[in-house]
Amino acid sequence: MEKTIYKRIHIIGSVGSGKTTLAKEISSRLDIPYYELDNVVWIRDKSGDIRRTEQEREEYLNSILQSDSWIIEGIHNEDWVSNCFQSADLIFFLDTKYSIRTYRIIKRFLKQKLRLEKANYTPTLVIFFKMFRWNRYFEDVGKVNFFNKYGIHKDKIKVINNANCIKKYFN
């Protein structure tokens, strides 16, 4: 039996679901570069983040998608990411428990405030509370919206509830 090799992987899930951690791990194991969608939207600058124009964002994303291999992580549910799902060989949908995601949001914020963990953004209380709202929205509406919108790719979507599910794909 021939083993399927995935070279274009999209990872989605709510805040605190483990997207970045999984992207880094797969990137390391398979030697494939990974990209965060937030960094496609924002130009990270010491003086403050600058939002890319729609054209800049789409050009940057298309340059990634034209590569032979990539891992993209992020949950932007707008139309501009639809090419990611179409181009992906595999889509991991991280459906981590709501309580675990909530715990991780708090833990991450504290670590960032104590400078034990690096952030791509300034960890303010405003962002902290937005993360809770995004997490709740994902739980109540976001999951359903995703499957309604991108269910056409169901043959390559793998729903992951815990880390043990991932191991069967990469062992």
What is the number of H-type helices and E-type strands within the chain?
A: 8, 7
Q: Which helix (H) or strand (E) segment is 129 a member of? A: helix 125-137
Q: What are the pLDDT digits (tens) for 93-122?
A: 999 999 999 999 999 999 999 999 888 888
Residue 89 pLDDT more than 80? yes
Global pTM value: 0.88
Separation between Cα atoms, residue 146 and residue 152, nearest integer Å: 11
Q: What are the pLDDT digits (tens) for 26-69?
A: 999 899 999 999 999 999 888 888 999 999 999 999 999 999 99
pLDDT at residue number 120:
80
Residue 31 zone, left/alpha/beta (φ > 0; ψ -120 to 50; rest): left
Residue 3 pLDDT more than 90? no
pLDDT at residue number 49:
85
Residue 77 pLDDT more than 80? no
In the chain, the domains with their CATH numbers are 8-170 (3.40.50.300)
